[in-house]
Structure formats: structure tokens, C-alpha cells
Structure 1
Amino acid sequence: MDTTTLIEKLDSEKDYSRRELYEYLCENVNGFSYNSFNWQMQKMLANGEVYRSGRNTYRIGRTYKRDYSPQYSEQSEIIIDFMEKFFPDTEYSIFETTMLNEFLNHQIAKNTIFLYVEKELSEFVFRDTESMSKRTVLYKPRKDDLRRYWKADSVIVLDRISEAPRGKAHKYDTPLEKVFVDMLSDQSLMYMFSKSEYPEALRIAYEKYHLDNNKMFRYARRRGKLPEIQSAMAEGGIEIDNT
């Protein structure tokens, strides 16, 4: 009996750890190795035969992808209200690092808000945000600046790149197509997570949500990161069907 048929016999309402799935297959397949298991898991995850139900837990059966809809903290809501009141016609987007936790193994405990503002106005927004906010506000910080001044709940203001993907529900939403390119492009954001987790994080995002390859590739090309994105997709077993 092949591994897919065996997996389908498991309870689709129960959570299984990776170890439990491996031991189950070992009991039913002669000479089944851990390398074979890793390869089979990657295949089943890519095909939707197995999906992640939580941290290091899996369920059997196909899951339905959904559109990504970010949920904002109270601090972000204050910044959004501020931007809508004082910079209503400005192109901007907002993102919080704790939003990455559903994709990362090592969780981000200390949140940071990234405010991307069109280049011509980003410095003005920074000055006004700094005056308005009770939190640390940094403008295009370098690594040394982050080491010295960054604190939990800091706000980082960066230039918004032209051709950056826009949110669907709200203009200030940051879609995943932008998030995953920025994760390879912005030094400030790269400071907040381990790059070694990137391919797996990208794969989890593709399993849970609808991502537009054309939109992401166009932005990645604009930022000079297309080869890195495609390499990470290949490493994560993600099919590249749009170029």
C-alpha cells in the first residue's frame, strides 16, 4: 500500500505531529526511512493531501486557501487614523512583524510596525509620526541604528517602492506578495527574523493563502530579488507556474 493511501486512512479531524506521522508510516511500510518521509511530506503538503493545522501539527485532507486579510494592533490603528486624517492622499502601507508568526517557527515576541510611505513624503511623515507617537520612531535605520535604538513596538518609516503591490480591502494593507519580497529586500525587516526560515515561511503562506505569482514576481524584479524568490520557491517545493 502506498504512503498516500495509508495517510488517507488517518482521522481527518485529529492533529498529528510530524513524529506521529513518521512512526505511523514506519509501522506500515517496510524499510521506510526518515529521508523518504521528508520527501513524502513535502510532496503531500504541496499537493494539499496534508496541511498544517498549527505549530508542528498537521491534519489529513485538503484545505481551502483563502485571501489574506491582516489584523492590526491598536497602535497600528492609531497610525492609520493619523495618516488618513493628515495625509489622506498619500500612498502608504503598514505592516507588523508579529503578522509573520503564523509562518515562522521561531516566533517574534517583540512587535515592530513598518510604515512604508511614498518617497517624496516619507521624511515629513516620519517627523509628524515621531511628534505624535509615544513609541520609538526610526527613519530608514541602518543595522547600527537598530542595535542602538530599536525597542519593542517601535515604528520604522521606510520609502515605499513604486510598483509595490497594493491591498485589496484597504489601500494601506500590505499583501503577502509585498511582504515576502520586502523580507528579502529591507535590511530593517531582515533584522527581525532568521533568513534560514524564509523558504519554509513562504511555503506555509502558499499553502494557506492565495498569492499572485505575477504580482509578486513583478515587484521582486523591481527590487532585484526575483532569482532569490524563485530559488526559495524551488527549495520549498512551490510550483512556479507564472513568470
Structure 2
Amino acid sequence: MVNFYERSIKERFQGIRTFSRGELYNFYLDYEPDLKASTFGWRVYDLRQKGIIRIVSKGVYTLSSKPQYMPNLSEKGGKIARLFLRKLSGSDYCISETAWLNELSTHQTSFSAIILEIEKDLLESAFFFLKTEIKDLYLQPSEKEMKIYVLEKEEPVIMKPLISRSPIQKKKDKNQTINIPHLEKLLVDIYCERQIYFFYSGAELKNIFNNAFDRYAINISRLQNYAKRRGKAPEIEEFISQELAASI
């Protein structure tokens, strides 16, 4: 009977981005009309422990078939990260690459920049310190500076302040553990930072979000919390709910 439920849950919710605890309870009630709420709670716990469902936000679940987002660093990206760790070990940081977005966008771009985020208090001093080591290093360029100077460079490095409590994950690269963003952070940053990601706008921005939600596991609570820290939670929630018809 247990295997029957597990198979039936996968069949019932396959292709649905998220479903509520109530919807899952109603699924069980179709087979067990007298199922107690306490027993249902243990069923949910068991499903999570077995990796059949995972929690997206309070009372909201998704099937656990989608992989976690874990992109690979380019050779230069890895070198920049290791240089930073060697010179400024112990500082909070995060490194990402705009080339990662080609996987999620419809129109591919040959432009590839490395984004190095550092805690705000150290940003300016770190910039001048690293400038002697890194070619084509830019500190918080404006959209105009991006278009005039940065876009013509090959793998430029852009430095900007790291938002406190940013959702960051660890990535192994040549025996070094490197901080890279969770997908939720990357999506919020793309939405918020038009001066850097201006070429991902309109339909392309929608495509990136849509593909991210379709291909990877998204933690809505993590996305919302980071969006709040950036002061953009209502805008991003409206964008997702209206443009992607995703459950927030």
C-alpha cells in the first residue's frame, strides 16, 4: 500500500510546480476518508525523509525530481576565487559568472563576466588591492560604463557589495571550497541589478525565470527572504505569480 501511495503521488502531482499541504491531504482522503490529521502529518514526514517530496515554503511542497542548481566555474572564475581566498581569507564573498545564464536564456550571448561580491566594508580596499593582480577589474560599474567599457572586454571581473545573509552554497573546485550563489540569489540579482544584467530584460528575463523553475528545485522561502533583503519582494512575487503562474 505504501508503494501504491508513493507511485500515485508522483502521478497525481507530476508536472505541477508546487502543491499545498491541503491538496496532499485531499489526495489521501480520496483513498482513506477517515484519515486523521496526526496520521497524515507522519505520512508527510515519511515522504520528505524518503525524498519523494520536498518543502518549498510553509505548507507548500514539490516533487523532489528536480536537481539542485550547481554550476561549474570557468578556469578564470576558479583562479579569481582562489586569488581572493589567498589574499583576503576570512572575508565574506560570493563569485558567479554571467555565462551561467546562457543555459537558462533563449538568446545566447558571447559576453562573459565574472561577478565578485565582497562584504561592503571591505569592497573598496579589496578593489585597490586586487587591481594589481586582476586585469579588467571594475568596481560597481553603471549601465553606461558597462556598455562603453566592460562589454568589449574578454571575461572582465565586476566587483560589487555582498548583501548580508545572501543565500550562498559551497562548490568544490580543484580541492578548494568556493562560495557561489544559490539559484534563488542569482534570479533575484538578475531582476534587481539592471545596470549589470540589462541585456536580460523583457521576454528574456521571463524565459530565464521560467526555465529555472522548470529545470531546477527552487526554494520559494529562500527566494522571498533574499528579495526582502533587497527591498524587492513584492515586485518579484508579483512578477513570478503573474508571468510564470508559479505558486508563491
Q: TM-score w.r.t. structure 2 length?
A: 0.68
Q: For 1:155 and 1:188, locate their aligned partners in 2 and report how far apart those are by CA, in whole Å.
A: 15
Matches within 5 A, 1:116-195: 116-134=117-135, 136-150=136-150, 151-169=153-171, 170=177, 172-195=179-202
Q: For 1:108 and 1:221, locate their aligned partners in 2 and report how far apart those are by CA, in whole Å.
A: 30
1:73 aligns with 2:74: yes
Compared CA separation, residues 132 and 64, structure 1 to 2 (3 A) = same
What amino acid maps onto 2:92 in structure 1?
E
185-194 or 98-107, larger mean C-alpha shift = 185-194
Q: For 1:218 and 1:206, locate their aligned partners in 2 and report how far apart those are by CA, in whole Å.
A: 17
Matches within 5 A, 1:1-243: 46=16, 64-134=65-135, 136-150=136-150, 151-169=153-171, 170=177, 172-234=179-241, 235-240=243-248
Moved over 6 A (4+): none
Deviation at 1:109, TM superposition (A): 1.1
Q: For 1:125 and 1:96, locate their aligned partners in 2 and report how far apart those are by CA, in whole Å.
A: 19
Query: Could you say which residue in structure 2 is the equivalent of 1:30?
Result: none
Structure 2 residue matching 1:132: 3-state secondary structure = coil
Give the conservation status (yes or no) of the 8 Å contact 1:119–1:159.
Answer: yes
Compared CA separation, residues 186 and 204, structure 1 to 2 (3 A) = same
Deviation at 1:232, TM superposition (A): 2.4
Compared CA separation, residues 103 and 45, structure 1 to 2 (3 A) = farther
Compared CA separation, residues 239 and 168, structure 1 to 2 (3 A) = farther
What amino acid maps onto 1:109 in structure 2?
S
Q: What are structure 1's unaligned runs of at least 5 residues?
A: 1-43, 49-61
* Alignment deviations for residues 34-72 of structure 1 (CA, whole Å, 9 cap, x no partner): xxxxxxxxxx96569xxxxxxxxxxxxx99300111201
Q: For 2:96 and 2:202, locate their aligned partners in 1 and report how far apart those are by CA, in whole Å.
A: 18
Structure 2 residue matching 1:70: 3-state secondary structure = coil
Q: What are structure 2's unaligned runs of at least 5 residues?
A: 1-13, 19-62, 172-176
Q: For 1:192 and 1:89, locate their aligned partners in 2 and report how far apart those are by CA, in whole Å.
A: 34
Structure 1 residue matching 2:121: 3-state secondary structure = coil
Structure 2 residue matching 1:163: 3-state secondary structure = coil
* Alignment deviations for residues 52-99 of structure 1 (CA, whole Å, 9 cap, x no partner): xxxxxxxxxx99300111201111111111111111101000110110
What amino acid maps onto 1:173 in structure 2?
I
The percentage of counterpart residues that share the same residue type is 28
What amino acid maps onto 2:123 in structure 1?
S
What amino acid maps onto 1:145 in structure 2?
E
Q: For 2:240 and 2:100, locate their aligned partners in 1 and report how far apart those are by CA, in whole Å.
A: 20
168-177 or 142-151, larger mean C-alpha shift = 168-177
115-124 or 198-207, larger mean C-alpha shift = 198-207
Q: CA RMSD in A?
A: 2.3
Give the conservation status (yes or no) of the 8 Å contact 1:46–1:207.
Answer: no
Q: For 2:117 and 2:100, locate their aligned partners in 1 and report how far apart those are by CA, in whole Å.
A: 16
